[in-house]
Structure 1
Amino acid sequence: MPTYITLLNWTDQGIRAYKNTTERTDAFVAALQKLGARLVDIHWTVGPYDLVATVEAPDDETATAALLQLGGMGNVRTTTLRAFSREEIESVIAKTSS
């Protein structure tokens, strides 16, 4: 299943409700499951991003839908990167060979 690395920053609303961050994460996990995706891991971080999440979804459309739902709650803004495993990137590189 494709992997997505999501960098999250709290909005003003999200930081005001920081004490509920783990409960909001549980709600995100449930929303992902309903879409056929899953939260692989999440970390609360110090630095330019407040959280970093790894999500697996069957396709880009599903990942986008999940992150739109998350952003629509108003607690975070996201930047998402499609990530490739070693095997996936080897397959990509093999397609460039003549």
Structure 2
Amino acid sequence: MTALTRLAATIEARKGADPDSSWTAKLLNKGPEKCAEKFGEEAVEAIIEAVKGDRAQLAAEAADVLYHLLVMLAARDVTLQEVMAELERREGVSGIAEKAARG
């Protein structure tokens, strides 16, 4: 089990938790829109660090992005397994061909 898989499982387990006892539960309790907003904020922070070129800070912000992506997915009941299945479906397909197929 990877750290990402364990994190997704922890987020799923926090869905019914008391928002006062868990940051994840607090985010999920605010709804999918707030989770998406927070994901966007973290993505912008990662972009800023990528432009600055600070590798350690970029890694830290990327970890925040992955966490908030998983929270956003959980808020809409999309599992990490579904995302992984989609990536596997695309594996070996040219990015150009895949985009054209989505049309």
TM over 0.5: no
- Per chain length, whose mean CA-contact separation is higher, i.e. which structure has more relative contact order (CA < 8 Å, sep 6+)? 1
Report the TM-score range of the alignment, normalised by the length of the smaller protein.
under 0.3
Under a length normalisation based on structure 1, what TM-score does the superposition of the two structures give?
A: 0.28
The structure with more strand, counted as a fraction of residues: 1
Under a length normalisation based on structure 2, what TM-score does the superposition of the two structures give?
A: 0.27
